[in-house]
Amino acid sequence: AQNGYPISPTLGQYWQLGYNKFKETLSGEEFTSWFKTFAPDGRAPKIGEIWRSPGHADTLRKIAETKAESFYRGELAERIDAFSRQCGGHLSKDDLAAYAPEWVTPIRVHYKGYHVWEIPPNGQGIVALMALNILKEDDFLAKESVDTYHRQIEAMKLAFVDGLKYVTQRDQMKVTVEDLLSDQYGAARRALIGEEALMPEPGEPVRSGTVYLATADGEGNMVSFIQSNYMGFGSGIVIPGTGISMQNRGHTFSLDPNHHNYLEPGKKTYHTIIPGFLTKGDQAVGPFGVMGGFMQPQGHVQVIMNTIDFHLNPQASLDAPRWQWIEGKIIEVERDFPEHIALALERKGHQIKWGMGPGGFGRGQIIWRTDDGVLVGGTDHRTDGTVAVW
């Protein structure tokens, strides 16, 4: 932040798109600080150009020196509160002071000899687990097979519509995580998959802007970590002089009072960012993640199946062409997706759209530990990530 960072290719592309969008849509004094911080020369920084943000550097020093007290109860909290009130916002210093991190127990499903772990709701990791729970009884003999893609897509659609209906803050969900991940419910959803593309509907279980990184060390410690402002640059509100860009993670809620995900004070509504983890027996295999909004659980399912069903190494698992369910029967596929399979999927009733670039198909990272204790990493070619070893 202090000395500058050279803008990398993928970052530069999205920065320019964000700038273009904000230039067209944001007006008013409350957004002036965003442009001063992220477009200091009246434009987005160019690829390869050094960008500096001394406000960020000063903020990070204050957070470090006060052990985060400045952000939650001190000077930074006061500045956030003041600018929020100036802009007609609702975030107050009392909200910041009342915040406490939540330690949660991850949720999991057993998939063909492995356990796949995700963060529980309000995150959407359960969507990936529901899809894998539907697919776990199938034997996939070939990756590049129309039947493989068809069943993956159908399972993903069924899991997603359930997630979009039921997922919210866990203690306010009207169905339990255990019900959604039960063998019985997985089997019932699996039975709906036929030869033709279906129009997905939520089931009725029995009642009882993102950065991902992974790291591991030689002592067996592993971390799966994800953070996001959402929608690229978040809300467009930057606290003057601090570099703090206010996020937009509360976006995915409903204003229908009858919806499971209805917005209420203090409630953590549906959240898209989900770090993943894989274990076998009582041993950690490693962390994995695919960032990218609603592509995330779809990317998790594809990466895990590439690893377990098709025995691809981490880099090949990430490099494989991807698809994503958009809505109804609409499936978007990458430009290098096999055309003959796309045509075969259309014959099954799927509506295929060809993606214009890699941006919408997620950007992932993986570290697996082999039986011999060797750490093997992969980084997505769709982003500026790298595998660093020391």
Which domains does the chain possess?
A: 5-101 (no CATH), 107-210+272-379 (1.10.246.130)
In the numeric block, the tokens 């419910």 are attached to 185
How many whole angstroms separate alpha carbon 233 and alpha carbon 246?
A: 8
Q: Which residues of the chain have pLDDT under 50?
A: 207-208
- Positions marked catalytic: 210
Q: What is the Cα 56 distance to its own chain's centre? A: 24
How many whole angstroms separate alpha carbon 113 and alpha carbon 184?
A: 19
pLDDT for residue 357? 65
pLDDT for residue 259? 84
Indicate the pTM of the whole model: 0.86
pLDDT for residue 359? 67
What is the rounded end-to-end Cα distance, in angstroms, of the chain?
24
Residues 164 and 259: beta-carbon distance below 8 Å: no
Q: Quick: pLDDT tens for 265-324.
A: 888 888 788 899 999 999 999 999 998 878 899 999 999 999 999 999 999 999 999 999
pLDDT for residue 307? 97
pLDDT for residue 208? 40
How many whole angstroms separate alpha carbon 231 and alpha carbon 240?
A: 21
